Amino acid sequence: MGQVVKVAVPVPLRQLFDYLPTGPHLPAIGSRCEVQFSRRRLIDVVWAHGEASVAASTIRPILRQLDEQAILPPDLLTLCKKAAQYYHHPVGEVLQTALPASLRKGHSGTHEGELIWRITAAGHHADIDGLTRAPRQQEALICLKQHQQGLSRPALTSLNISSQALNALAKKGWAELVNLPLTATPWQERPFLGEAPLTPNAEQQAAIDALLGEDHFNTYLLDGVTGSGKTEVYLQVMAKHLGAGQQVLMLVPEIGLTPQTIQRFKQRFNVPIHVLHSGLTDKERLYAWQMAAEGQAAIIIGTRSAVFTPLARPGIIIVDEAHDTSFKQQDGFRYSARDLAIWRAQILNIPIVLGTATPTLENLHAAQEGRFRHLRLPHRTGHAQPPIIQLEDCSQLNPLEPLSEYSLKALQHTLDKGRQALVFVNRRGYAPLLLCGDCGWQSECPHCDAHMTWHRLAGELRRHHCNTQRPIPTRCPQCGSHHLIDRGAGTEKLQQMLEQHFPNRALVRIDRDSTRQKGSLAKQLDIVHQGKPCILVGTQMLAKGHHFSRLDLAIMLEADAGFMSADFRGPEQAAQLILQVAGRTGRTDQPGRLLIQTRQIDNPLLQLLCQGDYHKFAMQLMQERRLAGFPPFGYLALFRAESIQQDHPATLLAAASANLWQQHEVMVLGPAPAPMERRQGRYRSQLLLLAPERKALHKLIPGLIDALNAHPLSKRCRWHVDVDPVDLT
Ligand code: ADP
Ligand code: ZN
């Protein structure tokens, strides 16, 4: 028998399936076809051609071929293959991440012109004044009315029109998304520079020169303190590639937090910029994908999964805030977009830049070993000084008073000078715990080993990770007492306290709750950018990327928790956050200062960090990691199992790993209950594998997976493997 088609079916199985071609020719590798799979019809991707691996009589023919040619370019196919192998994850599920939903549902891969939002006839006659309660929709409708010929998504984004507003108008029948033939001159043939570049300082120039000299694969670690002008380096390097008609792919941790960066790109370059974010419709996402695949998108900015965007003429990949843990997917296909971006650049043979003020120890180690080229910007631009970091001993602080006298005075002083201040706590809601003063009852989540947070504004107890909500009890559910008290402080409580303390000052709270409504983040940030004295209260949404020119002071509460964390990455991640927050202050003429309220003033690591030198701090951590054999000096894989039966997960993991003990290169830790054993009603157990060599680790994993699959309990537990885990809880 001749060759068969090996397809990756979108099911969680770690294997390919054989099918027969419909005609004399085998469908192209990377093209889609429809097949009968058990009793379902599924759309899948041709992964390989080869000899049949099962009896010929059992192989079914393909039902339908969807594409003439590969829809996944060879570099992406290679990337997906490599990723499936490395993460030991089913290829079908890797493809689920890599392909836009529309393509997985069978939509055509080629587009018919430009995708345009246009006002409908009904929209013309709509009552615009009737939309006063939906100002974003009103704005969008007026905008579409002014642009009769319609507007593309990127154009609408630059006019600050939101997807939600457009979708709402479409629902009313007032706006529509249509395909129109492409008319504009390709961007490669137009002048692309919208404004003159800044004159780089010597350090920026050195980094730019190094990057401009590179046309081939090389990983650059652009290691620049906050405010050192990394973005200007990106811009000048991007200019070279855009000038040569090449595309730029940029990965960022969270789109919503980078409006300033995107705005700067738009000012600098007259080229189509496509932003991939979760607010896009399937159709729009597909369109951006196609525009990138055809080379009509010049700059593509997106989060994690944008690493799978096809590029017709790839020039360079940039990963901004490269240390950010959100580049690692925490469920399903647990990949690191940062690591995949490096592989992608290698496959494409183009340069990649990882930009950050606080590189991960893994990346720093790679730079020290010479695997990455280390470009450093140790100083802030212009006259800006490095922020001063101060520890404030709060071990005696009354737990009912989240802010110390000293912190309050510092806030007062900053406001009196007409400047702005920020209070940071990484916890939203009013208080993390409600308890009974008589019997000790605590507001525990019924499904997890965790407390429920009191959200006073919403009048609820909430557990953020499992979305459990309960009304606030008026009496203790255990003893009936009315003596309910709260412990700890979240952003809501801080806001309330600060409003009482500074009644005449503007207060801006920024967290997931206060910015849930589209456009509200922009509105809150506007207040800050107006420059009047004010206090910002917020969570890590405040820590990243923002440039607040009048912010002099930041105060952090509970920033030191990570230094006591059971997770070995705790101190590294806490330090990154601390330096990010410090980096929001003193970005222009006035010096900036961060006050850390701490209960462990003697912690040597914390004291070291206060010198403001991340590298010194990182070297100290690196020593500890080396001794423990942890990354970057060892390699980790984490197996987790969970079930509603408490003993099943550990039994399964123990049985499957029983004969691993003979493999002496790999250390097997566990099975042990996860740090939070019960989550969303399931008990969780984990097994950690640690090896000094990546190879030894990866050799073991397939056997363990097989053993897990073969064990009867695997039918009654959910389990997964996380290679290079970032979160060990
Ligand atoms: P980073 O991303 O490294 O934190 P930014 O790129 O946001 O820093 O730069 C901080 C500020 O410095 C910005 O306002 C930017 O416009 C300004 N800047 C950057 N490079 C220069 C330069 N060469 N000359 C003058 N100002 C600069
Ligand atoms: Zn009670």
Encode pLDDT of 44-92 as tens digits. Answer: 999 989 888 888 888 898 998 888 888 999 999 999 999 999 999 999 8
HEC per residue, 604-616: HHHHHHCCCCHHH
Distance CA 370, CA 218 (A): 11
444 C-alpha to ligand 2 centroid (Å) = 13
Distance of alpha carbon 152 from its chain centroid, rounded?
A: 26
Q: Which ligand is nearest to the CA of 227?
A: 1
Q: Is 182 helix (H, G, I), strand (E, B) or coil?
A: coil
Ligand 1 centroid to Cα of residue 264, in Å, is: 11
Cα 466 from Cα 471, distance rounded (Å)? 16
pLDDT value, residue 661: 63
Instruction: Provide mean pLDDT across the span 643-672.
Output: 86
CB 636 within 8 A of CB 688: yes
Q: Are the beta carbons of 580 and 254 closer than 8 angstroms?
A: no
- The three-state secondary structure class of 102 is helix
The secondary structure of residue 400, as a DSSP letter, is T
Say if residue 282's pLDDT is above 90: no
Q: For residues 533 and 275, what is the distance between their CA atoms, to the nearest angstrom?
A: 33
C-alpha to C-alpha distance for 655 and 556, rounded to whole angstroms: 45
Whose alpha carbon is nearest atom 6 of ligand 1? 229
List the one residue out of 349, 237, 258, 263 whose CA is nearest residue 303: 258
User: Quick check: 94 pLDDT over 80?
Assistant: yes
Look over the chain and give the mean of its residue pLDDT values, rounded to a whole number. 89
- Does residue 588 have its Cβ closer than 6 Å to ligand 1? no
Q: Which atom of ligand 1 is nearest to the CA of 228?
A: 3
Q: Range with the lowest mean pLDDT among 202-216, 471-485, 630-644?
A: 471-485
If pLDDT is split at 50, 70 and 90, which confidence band does 717 have?
very high
β-bridge partners, 4: 50
- Residue 425 has which token pair? 């706590």
Cβ(355) to ligand 1 under 6 A? no
Candidate from 199, 201, 231 with most ligand 1 atoms within 8 A of CB, to mutate: 231
Dist. CA 514–CA 200, nearest whole Å: 38
Q: Give the predicted TM-score (pTM) of the model.
A: 0.88
Answer whether residue 695 shows pLDDT above 80.
yes
pLDDT digits (tens, 9 = 90+) for 125-149: 888 888 888 888 888 998 888 888 7
Residues 572, 580: contact at Cβ < 8 Å?
Answer: no
Q: Give Dmax (Cα) for the chain.
A: 85
Q: Which of 172, 158, 185, 169 is nearest to 117 (CA)?
A: 169
Three-class SS of residue 550?
coil
Task: Specify the pLDDT at position 257.
Answer: 65
Range scoring the smallest mean pLDDT among 296-300, 431-435, 653-657: 431-435
Closest by CA to 519, choosing from 159, 145, 126, is 159
Percent of the chain with pLDDT over 70: 98
* Angstrom distance (rounded) from CA 596 to CA 393: 9
Q: Is the CB of 227 under 6 A from ligand 1?
A: yes
* Beta carbon of 201 within 6 Å of any ligand 1 atom: yes
Ligand nearest to the CA of 438: 2
Q: Taking residues 410-414, report their average pLDDT.
A: 95
CB-ligand 1 contact for 376 (6 Å cutoff): no
